Amino acid sequence: MSSTLDRLQGAVPVPVPDPPRALAPYVRELAGDFETVYRRDYAATVRLAHLLSGSNAIAQELAQEAFAQLYQRWDRALEPRAYVRGILVNLCKVHHRRRAVEGRHLPAPPPPMLPPDLDETWQLLSRLSPKRRIALVLRFYEDLSVEQVAAAMGCRVGTAKSLIHRGLESLRQELT
């Protein structure tokens, strides 16, 4: 341990008291400002929003809103990527709720144009309940663990596990 600290002291240009010295890499890692985070993660966030909402048209709007909220809560965002993901999940839940209400009163919008090989599964995914769809996207696109899915969705681990399992089961039944 002492060798690690000694090497770290050589790497850190500013002398700092003993315990905080070990945290310097994290402070530096975290020091990326909002603009850096935004430019780095914006495209990925739009893609995720597309998958979560099912609409490319609405994805940019959701991503912008997610980053706007992130900016307002920048003080609390220890991990901006995870934080914006959580915001996005909530925004998508709201979007799905609104769309469900709209769907009862408005004609269905035309389905998005995608390559034929993607179309079937993509359409099936859109028929899942929003929660199952979100759980599957977070698990299989973002490659999050079940625990991380639960954290992003604000539910229990068991609930997330169940949503993933039932989502997969629904897809399997539709495909057979």
Total binding residues toward other proteins, as defined by CB under 8 A: 72
Q: Which residues contact 175 (CB under 8 A, 6 or more apart)?
A: 120, 121, 124
**CA-to-CA dists, residue 170 to 91, 124, 164, 174, angstroms:** 24, 9, 10, 6
Nearest in space to 52 (alpha carbons), one of 152, 145, 174: 152
**DSSP-assigned letter for residue 154:** T
By CB under 8 A, the residues from 49 to 108 that bind other proteins are 50-51, 56, 59-60, 64, 67-68, 71, 74-79, 81
Q: Which CB sits closer to other proteins, 50 or 96?
A: 50
- Minimum CB separation of residue 99 from other proteins in Å reads 18
- Minimum CB separation of residue 104 from other proteins in Å reads 27
C-alpha 137/C-alpha 147 separation (Å) is 14
5 binds other proteins (CB under 8 A): yes
116 binds other proteins (CB under 8 A): no
Q: Which CB sits closer to other proteins, 102 or 120?
A: 120
161 binds other proteins (CB under 8 A): no
